[in-house]
Amino acid sequence: MPQPRKPRVEGKVIVVTGAAQGIGFACARLLAEEGASVVLSDVKQPEGEAAAARIAADGLKARFVRADVTSESDCAALMAEAARPTGRIDGLLNNAGWYPRATLEQTTSDFWDQIQNVNLRGPFYCCKHAAPHLRAAGGGSIVNVGSLNGIQGLPNLVAYSAAKGGLLSLTRTLAGALAHDRIRVNYLIPGWVLTEGEIALHAKTGVTLEALKKQGETLALGRHQTPEDSAWAALYLLSDESVQVTGTILNVDAGGSTLPVQPGAPYLG
């Protein structure tokens, strides 16, 4: 008789930032369903607490710890609290991000700093303070949620593209620096996902959900990605199935990188 399938991250403690909604929440839920004890974190406390409660209500292991990833002390406290019950952290998903648009001329010094702080400084702080716990656990996995814009960029996402490009460089650097500790570090590109934030961002400029869906039909595989698409990829990278995978890019963009980038294109993945 077929044997029951073993959960893919059973017993692992995994921290997910930006987990109150969208990709982060989908990843947290799937990781919990696959046996992990998930620590959801977000700067939005009521929403984050509600997200963790929704997962825990299904009998899964999930709790919330508020943290602002732009604060090093918050990130250090987050990792310490995540490790407190079991004495270990096995995985980190750096998902927290922010992607308002601005061209080169529109980008002020303050705007530049805000984008870099959330999208690059935040993952750096989280990696820095998670690494000792991962090392103490005998190794583990860090997944940095990146972007196609970190590779080829868009004219109206100058600061964001630079930050995600920096995150890719950080990923590859840490993959080499931490390999001897059996800590793997990889870069996940979600593609163009219609999260709550993405839909709201376009609504401000008069772009309807129906119009967005039609644009998604022009992608190589014919639709936008869902948060769950990214979650399955993150699960692989955080599981022991990818034990020999580090310093790489896992692209879940439905072929978006195979298409030419047009100025003013809506893709923000």
| Residues forming the active site | 160
The SS3 assignment for 240 reads: helix
Contact assessment for residue 159 and residue 209, using Cβ atoms and an 8 Å cutoff: no
Q: How far is the CA of 174 from the CAs of 26, 50, 147, 186, 191, in angstroms? A: 26, 33, 18, 9, 23
Residues ≥6 apart with Cβ < 8 Å to 61:
32, 36, 37, 38
Query: How many residues appear in the chain?
Result: 269
199, 209 in Cβ contact below 8 A? yes
Rounded CA-CA distance 26/232 in Å is: 9
Contact 189, 147 (CB under 8 A): yes
Q: What is the largest CA-CA distance in the chain?
A: 65
Token pair 């959801």 is found at: 40
Structure tokens, 221: 């595989």
